[in-house]
Structure 1
Amino acid sequence: MAFDDAYDALTDHEDDARWAYGTGFEDPLAGVPDDLPAGVDPADLAGYCLMLGDDALIMSHRLQQWVTRAPELEDELALANIALDLLGQARLLLTRAGAAEGRGRDEDDLAMRRGPAEFRNVLLAERADDDFAHLVARLCVFSVWRLALLDRLTASRDPMLAAIAGKGVKEVTYHRDYAAQWVVRLGDGTALSHQRMSDGVLAVTPLIGPLFQAHPIEERLAAAGVAVDPASLRDDFQQVWEFVLTTSGLSGPPVPPPGSPPASLSPPAPPASLSPPAGRSGEHTPALAAILDEMQETARTVPGGVW
């Protein structure tokens, strides 16, 4: 794709009309078999890909909001690159979801033409951050959990999911290490940075437990060898998370604000026989609606537009 100047590139859409994400996207999974696994309900596979794709899409948008707000230029670039990695994962997963459901919806339809109740991301992804310490605490939790998930998903019976996971493992390993380094740096820094980091860990802790609670779709696909049972990730997550906290000097529970119940740094085990977790079942905080208002503004204002 060659143009005489940048303006030609912006106005030429004959070869690619992916308005939501720009043009010139090269499929990194070209050649990977896209047949659905035998004996798997296509609706279940589509739902599972939506879950993982929405996690990445919404977390990516939250990270994009921190560009120009990070402490250093290098961190703005790092957060932007992490956001782009997650956006790429979202594109692949939403494309797979659209193909599996068979309703003719593509990545743009699923990203830009659904309302909050149709999204299936975990609540951890949509939470806003009070400051940079809150951000890196949440990113660390998200990355440690997602890396454990993607690592196991490389053995999926669905070749597409396995390939997406294999690509994602390399990316999310960096995300985890970047966030963990900041948790340690702030936790083991000054009295002020230690307190800020303690507050960030305390804020994210209630969102950890639901990460290991399975939706019925996850249970069915895990039994079929396609998905990962979230409960199986708990030990791997806890081992890494507690190591990060211990190294940062945050091995004990932070002191909660006055009047708050005590909090544990270890993710609480979900009780048995719970209903599907909020987020996965379409129940969200008001924060998601605000995210979608911002993210989908152009799609809503100019339906079918390209850029």
Structure 2
Amino acid sequence: MSGTAPVDYLLHLADNALVLGQRNAEWCGHGPILEEDLALANNSLDLLGQARLLYQHAATLINADAAQSRRFGHLLGARSDGAVTEDTLAYFRDTHEFRNLTLLELPHSGPLAATACGDRDYATTLARNFLYSALMVLVWDRLQASADGQLAAIAAKSLKEARYHLRHASDWLVRLGDGTEESHARAQAALHHLLPYCQEFWIGSEAETAAVHNGTGVDVAGLRADWDALVDDTLKEATLQRPAMQGHVPQGKHGVHSEHMGFLLAEMQSLARAHPHAVW
């Protein structure tokens, strides 16, 4: 429909927010200091709120379109009324159906741990939040002019939150980079680990292309120069070196995920799947 964002574009944005929100929530009760424990919990709640609004919008479009309803019909076993909801989109899609950036599903253990089950590395968490928030400040800003009025309203709300997330992550990255020898090394290692995954930002998907064509989405490739400037300015202040972005380009936007995604979803979805008709 003209003036309506493609469902897959809304799901891409929603999945990004949900998956990173789930990852950041893993710090709840484990933050290095109480204030940061609360800060990341609030960050997660912001992202969850963004995901909910986007999933609700997508569900409305799916339920109003017969072809889309058939496409997502395999999710309806979890619903007694035969309607797709934000919950069915979050809890009853499988790994290959998610369209989030691969960067966001990676564990917190970072490059200095032997395995993904290693201790959480706060520098890895903050570097990821910084790289993603720098992108989303630009995306949400442009989406305020989306031809999809509902998406434009979500963008206006989300932009305020993304600006806070960027400021929080930037401040901490500067503190770590310009801090002790240990904190500097951890921050630098996190950037070396994560920056190659950012290549996926600039490779558009079919959903993103369709959204750009009907005036509801953003051409992310056109944001690269502004993103580079944001990143470079902060890294300079943090006395950190920007490593090259090269190597394998991840394909999370296309449903091809890392081995970590299935474990993340298993933990997040287990209760809903065990009791699909429960009322809370």
TM over 0.5: yes
| Alignment counterpart, residue 70 of structure 1, candidates 28, 31, 34 | 31
| Alignment counterpart, residue 251 of structure 2, candidates 278, 283, 289 | 278
Equivalent positions of 1:125-140 (< 5 A) are: 125-130=104-109, 131-140=121-130
* Matching residue of 1:28: none
Amino acid at match of 1:51: H
* Matching residue of 1:55: 16
Using the alignment, how far apart are the partners of 1:176 and 1:231 within structure 2?
Answer: 20
* Matching residue of 1:222: 212
* Matching residue of 2:151: 161
Greater Cα offset, 53-62 or 278-287: 278-287
- The answer on whether the counterparts of 1:153 and 1:227 sit within 8 Å (CA) in structure 2 is yes
- The answer on whether the counterparts of 2:2 and 2:214 sit within 8 Å (CA) in structure 1 is no
Using the alignment, how far apart are the partners of 1:215 and 1:203 within structure 2?
Answer: 24
Using the alignment, how far apart are the partners of 1:283 and 1:139 within structure 2?
Answer: 22
- The answer on whether the counterparts of 1:208 and 1:268 sit within 8 Å (CA) in structure 2 is no
* Matching residue of 1:298: 271
Q: CA deviation at 1:269?
A: 11
Amino acid at match of 2:140: L
Equivalent positions of 1:146-225 (< 5 A) are: 146-225=136-215
* Matching residue of 2:89: 110
Q: Normalising to structure 1: TM-score of the pair?
A: 0.79
Using the alignment, how far apart are the partners of 1:305 and 1:238 within structure 2?
Answer: 46
Q: CA deviation at 1:306?
A: 2.2
Listed one character per residue, the Cα deviations across residues 136-180 of structure 1 (whole Å, up to 9, x for unaligned) are 000100111111111101000000010000000001100000000
| Alignment counterpart, residue 95 of structure 1, candidates 43, 52, 56 | 56
- The answer on whether the counterparts of 2:196 and 2:247 sit within 8 Å (CA) in structure 1 is no
Task: Quote the sequence identity (%).
Answer: 38
Q: Which runs of 4+ in 1 moved over 4 A?
A: 267-270
Q: Normalising to structure 2: TM-score of the pair?
A: 0.86
Using the alignment, how far apart are the partners of 2:8 and 2:230 within structure 1?
Answer: 29
* Structure 1, unaligned runs of 5 or more: 1-35, 254-262
Alignment RMSD, CA only? 1.7
Q: Are residue 289 (structure 1) and residue 262 (structure 2) matched?
A: yes
Q: How many residues are paired up?
A: 251
* Structure 2, unaligned runs of 5 or more: 64-68, 70-82, 110-120
| Alignment counterpart, residue 86 of structure 1, candidates 41, 44, 47 | 47
Greater helix fraction, Structure 1 or Structure 2? 2
| Alignment counterpart, residue 247 of structure 1, candidates 233, 237, 241 | 237
Task: Specify the SS of the correspondent of 2:154.
Answer: helix
Using the alignment, how far apart are the partners of 1:92 and 1:191 within structure 2?
Answer: 42
Computing the radius of gyration from Cα coordinates, the structure with the larger value is 1
Using the alignment, how far apart are the partners of 1:45 and 1:268 within structure 2?
Answer: 30
Amino acid at match of 2:32: P
Amino acid at match of 1:47: D
* Matching residue of 2:225: 235
Listed one character per residue, the Cα deviations across residues 179-230 of structure 1 (whole Å, up to 9, x for unaligned) are 0001000000011110011011111111111111100221122122110111
Using the alignment, how far apart are the partners of 2:122 and 2:157 within structure 1?
Answer: 28
